[in-house]
Structure 1
Amino acid sequence: MDFLFAPLVPVSLPIQGNSQRFPVHRVYCIGRNYGDHVREMGGDAKRSSPVFFMKPADALWLDGAVPYPGATGDLHHEVEMVVALARGGREIAVADALACVYGYGVGLDLTRRDLQNLAKADGAPWDSAKGFDASAPISTLTPASVCGHPQHATLELQVNGSTRQQVDIGDMIWALPEIIHELSRLWTLAPGDVIFTGTPAGVGPLRRGDRYRAMLGNIATLEGHLL
């Protein structure tokens, strides 16, 4: 195949204990998946239809030095359990969903909160608030063959040594098998898909020079700082 110019190198993620890398297809995110976060944002925490959005695959960021984005004065952190799929399909049954999972990690859904608030007020899409460059710092993946499929694990974010967010993943409104099922009703999932599974309460600003440490139990750790 003859290209007009060289294609970009595919996005991929490192895997714990494996020299191979995980090739990324799409990045899906679910919003409003912890009741305490829904309430802190002024919403109703009752279970309703899940809210999904996407980030570009190349928004995934593996460098510990994260550039502070332009066009915002209010960058917020949202720590999340991240799930990587090795199998996909359509209309995946809840009972079959975990069989699609390759592994787990931890990441940040960085958000231009000021732009998101404007978008919400106007009923506009969230793309500029959620899908900007380096908006998804992410850890190395731990295969499910190593860590299993955690039903309970502490998801935590520290900023400059102080805990900002902390929750048990068992508190998710939509559990992981349900998330996979619901996504597969809307899109055909594929090997290489990555899912950010929602953030708990405690979201807040990150400023230049801030250092962060995100942890998913003893499964994954992500450390970095804002430039």
Structure 2
Amino acid sequence: MGTMGSSSKPLSRFWEWGRNIVCVGRNYAEHAKEMGSAPPAEPLLFLKPSSAYVREGAPIVRPYYCRALHHEVELGVVVGRGARAVPRDAAMQHVAGYALCLDMTARDTQDECKRKGLPWTLAKGFGTSCAVSDFVPKEQIPDPHKLQIWLKVNGKMRQEGDTSSMIFSIPYLISYISHIFPLEEGDLILTGSPKGVGAVEVDDEIEAGIRDVVSVRFKVAQEAPESKI
């Protein structure tokens, strides 16, 4: 499968043309606990628009309506070929590779949405809310369920977790999602965050990585006041 998809688009640049970003909430029991929730009985899904992507070299921008921007480090799964109602035992055949991802969350906005029973779009889908690393071909990660992922803010460790602690495995997630809506080549699945999520401020530096496989650095900036409606 490598870095080329069937459409001849380079999967190494999935963020430029992939259509769907499917996120899995509370997929680590300790994270669910710190969010005041019980572990889910089935995957909790939400979406980000493809315009949420941001790459190293550009800042993560806190939106004008947010006062509590939180980091959530996650393993991302890049889909290599279309998947519709895929059985669990065939799901990994649809994986092209992986990426280190940051699910940036406007936590105060999310809390307000929860109180009002509203969708999480404002909290999870703003521009730069999905920071991604370079693409990692699946051949470089023989077992994605035995990976250490970590995140530091200004050099201080905030999150350390192991993908072996995921509640729902990658094959389960691919199968589950593909039975709801088709997955397409270049789509990204964010598999959930371990415990330790927390706030970042303007000018903070976020560094995160998958073991010694790949890492990223991002600065935090503030959206200009004139962006407000």
Give your verdict on TM over 0.5: yes
For 2:47, the equivalent position in structure 1 comes to: 54
Alignment gaps of 5+ in structure 2? 1-8, 222-229
For 1:226, the equivalent position in structure 2 comes to: 220
1:186 corresponds to which letter in structure 2?
Answer: I
Give 1:28's match in structure 2, choosing from 14, 22, 26: 22
What is the rounded CA distance, in whole Å, between the counterparts of 1:141 and 1:63 in structure 2?
12
Dislocated runs of 4+, deviation >3 Å: none
Identical-residue share of aligned pairs (%) = 35
Structure 1 position 218, deviation (Å): 2.3
What is the rounded CA distance, in whole Å, between the counterparts of 1:132 and 1:56 in structure 2?
8
Note the alpha carbon deviations across 1:154-190, whole angstroms, 9 max, x for none.
0100111111011110100001111101101111111
Report the 3-state secondary structure (helix = DSSP H, G, I; strand = E; otherwise coil) of the residue aligned with 1:166.
strand
For 2:86, the equivalent position in structure 1 comes to: 92
Matches within 5 A, 1:1-227: 15=12, 21-22=13-14, 23-45=17-39, 47-64=40-57, 65-227=59-221
Report the 3-state secondary structure (helix = DSSP H, G, I; strand = E; otherwise coil) of the residue aligned with 1:98.
helix
Give the number of aligned pairs.
Answer: 210
Mean CA deviation greater in 89-98 or 62-71: 62-71
Structure 1 position 106, deviation (Å): 0.5
What is the rounded CA distance, in whole Å, between the counterparts of 2:102 and 2:11 in structure 1?
17
Mean CA deviation greater in 58-67 or 210-219: 58-67
C-alpha contact 2:146 2:162 (8 A) present in aligned 1: yes
What is the rounded CA distance, in whole Å, between the counterparts of 2:84 and 2:98 in structure 1?
21
Note the alpha carbon deviations across 1:24-63, whole angstroms, 9 max, x for none.
1211000010000000111112x50211000001101014
Structure 1 position 136, deviation (Å): 0.7
C-alpha contact 1:83 1:103 (8 A) present in aligned 2: yes
When residues 13 and 70 of structure 1 are mapped into structure 2, their CA distance, relative to the original with a 3 A threshold, is: farther
What is the rounded CA distance, in whole Å, between the counterparts of 1:36 and 1:81 in structure 2?
16
- Structure-1-length-normalised TM-score: 0.88
C-alpha contact 2:56 2:217 (8 A) present in aligned 1: no
C-alpha contact 1:104 1:220 (8 A) present in aligned 2: no
What is the rounded CA distance, in whole Å, between the counterparts of 1:199 and 1:91 in structure 2?
25
Report the 3-state secondary structure (helix = DSSP H, G, I; strand = E; otherwise coil) of the residue aligned with 1:84.
strand
For 1:8, the equivalent position in structure 2 comes to: none
Mean CA deviation greater in 140-149 or 195-204: 140-149
Report the 3-state secondary structure (helix = DSSP H, G, I; strand = E; otherwise coil) of the residue aligned with 1:134.
coil
